[in-house]
Copies of this chain bind each other. A is one copy, B any other.
Amino acid sequence: MGLDQVRIVLVEPAGPMNVGSVARVMKNFGLNHLVLVNPQCDLLSIEAKHMAVHAQDVLESAVKVATLPEALQGCTRAIATTARVRDWKMPLEHPRLGLPWLLEEPTEPAALIFGREDRGLSNEELNYAQRFVRIPTSPSYTSLNLATAVAICCYELAQSVPLHSTDEEHRDYVPMSEFKPAPLDLVEAYYQQLESLLLQIGYLYPHTAASRMEKFRQIYNRVQLQDREVAMLRGVLRQVEWALGNDKDVTEGSGNSHT
């Protein structure tokens, strides 16, 4: 089931825009089951729908219940979120470390519980959960917007699921580590072509060319050029050669070293 097994439970949310934003971000990260405990606002209001944008389906299929135990029915695992550090003595985990636990039993529904905008969850409500997560914040402003807290938790949950298992689109995702620079011989051919041209136009002199070329090499090596970028740079050189009238070299058969 993966992410789809996790229901997002909002206890007495009061802001329809928050509920709409929550629906949107849930869908953004592959979650679909929204449960509202005694909501203090209309979850199908214009404001909620406006913020949900293309997640109307999540909003419309949201379940309203009267109490937190009803919201947790059928769940074997529940995590509550809290900003408390003073009067709550249970372990508080970082979302990155705590949330993946919800997905460990892949056939069982699990719940992630968020409290009211103004005062979170009561101690009694916290006690329905087995684990507790706190999003670390700056001491200068610790109170997160409800939809922001849900967003960060949904994001973290989604990151704990292997990308390729659910997301076709991630095939286009090119992390820096997998980014392939052009083969060195292709880059070397560019350096040769550049040096040759710079010698031709008198920018380089034969006895200092090597040391000056080192500086060009340093620049382009740092860039880690791609194939198409090398091709582009070489295209520029060819164009300069053409403009200089050197392109006749090619027709004369002596320009092979430049291509």
Among B54, B89, B140, B226, contact of A228 (Cβ-Cβ < 8 Å): B89
**Quick one: copies of this chain in the complex?**
2
Given the contacts A148-B21, A155-B135, A28 and B176 also touching, CB distance less than 8 Å: no
CB-based contact B172/A86 at 8 Å: yes
Write the nearest CB–CB distance from A155 to chain B, whole angstroms: 5
> Does A245 sit within 8 A of B, measured CB to CB?
no
**Inter-chain contact B148/A163, CB cutoff 8 Å:** no
A139: which B residues are within 8 A, CB to CB?
Answer: 167-169
In the complex the two chains form, is A167's CB within 8 Å of B136's CB? yes
Q: How far is the CA of A134 from the CA of B135 in the complex (A)?
A: 22
For A20, the closest partner residue in chain B by CB is B145
Pairwise interchain contact A25-B148, C-beta atoms closer than 8 A: yes
CA distance A173 to B138 in the complex (A): 12
Is the CB–CB distance between A175 and B138 below 8 Å? no
A163 near B136: Cβ-Cβ < 8 Å: yes
Bound: A228/B89 CA distance, A? 10
CB of A36 within 8 Å of the partner chain? no
**B residues in contact with A182, CB < 8 Å:** none
Chain B residues lying within 8 Å of A147, measured Cβ to Cβ, are 148
In the A-B complex, the 5 residue pairs with the smallest Cβ-Cβ separation, listed nearest first, are A85-B172, A91-B179, A30-B138, A27-B141, A139-B169
- 10 A-B pairs within 8 Å (CB atoms) are namely A28-B141, A28-B148, A89-B228, A93-B176, A94-B175, A134-B173, A136-B159, A138-B167, A147-B148, A151-B151
